[in-house]
Amino acid sequence: MHVLVTGGAGYIGSHTCLELLDAGYTVSVVDNLCNSSRIALTRVEELCGKKINFIELDLLDMQGLSQVFSRHPDIGAVIHFAGLKAVGESVEQPLRYYQNNLIGTLNLCEAMAKHGVKHIVFSSSATVYGTPARLPIQEDFPTSATNPYGRSKLMIEEMLADLHISDQTWQVVLLRYFNPVGAHPSGRIGEDPKGIPNNLMPYITQVAAGRLKELNVFGNDYPTIDGTGVRDYLHVVDLAKGHVKALEYTQKRSGVFIYNLGTGQGSSVLEMVRAFMEANKIDIAYRISPRRPGDIAECYADASLALRELGWQTEYGLTDMCRHAWNWQKNNPEGYPPSA
Ligand code: NAD
Ligand code: UFG
């Protein structure tokens, strides 16, 4: 089957393209490269010895998007990663986030409907659970949002569910990721944040590389095992494989399918720092800083539904996540080289 991957040049998208190609799918990617590099896809092609049909395009370009489907009438499903994802930036620039994430998705769905493609896998996030009342988090927990990024995810989830109500032949899959980290074991593709990283793991690897002086641990007075924030970190390759499983399971089923993708295990910031130091035999300097506004104390998944229905569970552990993250950073200290 031919799968269109929006945002396929990005961190999770590039790893998913590799898994799709390895599983025998034909892959087209639409990406405007606003937060990624064309080189990621060249490296995916090198890793699996197969080609990707890359189209540099903004999802806001409705006409261009429609042409992609007319030119490739065999596209049978879409995995939709394309979106802006920085929480803090979304608070400062809400209109840009709504414009890009909502209108981009609206355009995509319109083009899909017009061309009779009704199978979509959407990148949602554990952020839609807001501050959970209990742990681990199950898919039927109440949802809420505290910032424009999270709200855009919730709105898109609802929009896609409405689409299925209006036409029950739509196959809608909402994947709620917990905290993806790490990189492909080859060290050829990985996370390449622009500027100072917002997220914990890329910050740690840049401290390890000497690009940043020390990690700021945001708060040590949370009601958690050691006072620091607890999250459910999962290896990006496991996450990528979850997309292939979700695509396969929903191939012949219509409905709205919601899955948590996580390990089911919470780890604190200090546990992550220790795991990184032990896995890589490198010291990470850190200091305790004030809490980051908007952070919650603890968040980890009940991922048993994905295991029951998709037959998916994570295979990599914390040591692999830390080793592979460092392997990527070490081999690509400045991220991907500038495109020629
Ligand atoms: P990423 O920024 O690496 O990838 C997103 C890709 O989308 C980039 O290649 C970017 O260039 C592209 N893009 C953005 N807007 C576009 C547009 N209008 N038209 C075409 N391309 C566009 O991010 P990622 O970490 O790979 O995340 C992928 C998806 O998963 C995002 O939707 C993100 O919100 C979601 N998600 C990520 C995390 C995480 O921690 N990384 C957690 C939960 C959910
Ligand atoms: N943290 C630090 N120092 C840092 C960065 C993070 O102490 O420099 C802490 C945070 O306070 C938090 C934990 O490390 O306790 C994880 O923080 P991240 O920023 O890596 O991840 P978040 O859980 O805050 O958010 C991420 C994505 C969101 C997504 C969410 C759930 O950034 O977009 O996971 O999938 F919604």
Whether the per-residue pLDDT at 297 is higher than 80: the answer is yes
What predicted TM-score, i.e. pTM, was given to this entire model? Answer: 0.98
Instruction: Specify the pLDDT at position 129.
Output: 98
State the pLDDT at residue 101: 98
* DSSP-derived secondary structure for 88-99: HHHHH-HHHHII
Q: Where does residue 29 rank: exposed (0-12), middle (13-18), buried (19+ CB within 10 A)?
A: buried
Quote the percentage of the chain above a pLDDT of 90. 99
Question: Is residue 294 predicted with pLDDT exceeding 80?
Answer: yes
Write out the H or E segment, with its range, that includes residue 190: none
| CA–CA gap between residue 338 and residue 194 (Å, rounded) | 12
CA distances from 175 to 42, 97, 161, 303 (A): 26, 20, 13, 11
Phi-psi region of 7 (alpha: psi -120 to 50; beta: other; left: phi over 0): left
First to last CA, the chain: 31
Q: Is residue 149 flagged as an active site residue? A: yes
Nearest-CA residue for ligand 1 atom 29 is 81
Residues near ligand 1 (Cβ within 6 A): 7, 9-13, 31-36, 58-60, 81-85, 100, 104, 123, 125, 177, 179-180
Instruction: With beta carbons less than 8 A apart as the criterion, state whether 299 and 267 touch.
Output: no
Catalytic residue among 25, 149, 259, 336: 149
Task: Look at residue 21 in the predicted model and tell me its pLDDT.
Answer: 98
| Cα–Cα distances in angstroms (integers) from residue 26 to residues 4, 38, 73, 131, in the given order | 9, 18, 13, 39
Give 45-98 pLDDT, tens digit per residue: 999 999 999 999 999 999 999 999 999 999 999 999 999 999 999 999 999 999
Q: Please state, in angstroms and rounded to a whole number, the distance separating the CA atoms of residues 44 and 39.
A: 9
Cα(156)–Cα(211) distance, rounded to whole angstroms? 37
| Burial degree of 109 (CB within 10 A; 0-12, 13-18, 19+) | buried
Q: How confident is the model at residue 339 (pLDDT cuts 50, 70, 90)?
A: confident
Give the pLDDT band of residue 340 (cuts 50, 70, 90). Answer: low
Q: Give the residue from 269, 133, 293, 104 showing the smallest Cα distance to 203.
A: 269
Task: Provide the mean pLDDT of the chain.
Answer: 97
> Dmax over Cα atoms in the chain, in whole Å?
56
Please report the pLDDT score of residue 327 as a whole number: 98
306 Cα to the center of ligand 2, angstroms? 23
So what's the pLDDT on residue 89? 95
204 within ligand 2 shell (Cβ under 6 A): no
Alpha helix (H) ranges present in the chain? 11-22, 38-48, 62-71, 87-92, 94-97, 104-114, 148-166, 200-208, 236-250, 269-280, 304-305, 318-331
Residue carrying the six token digits 């830390």: 322
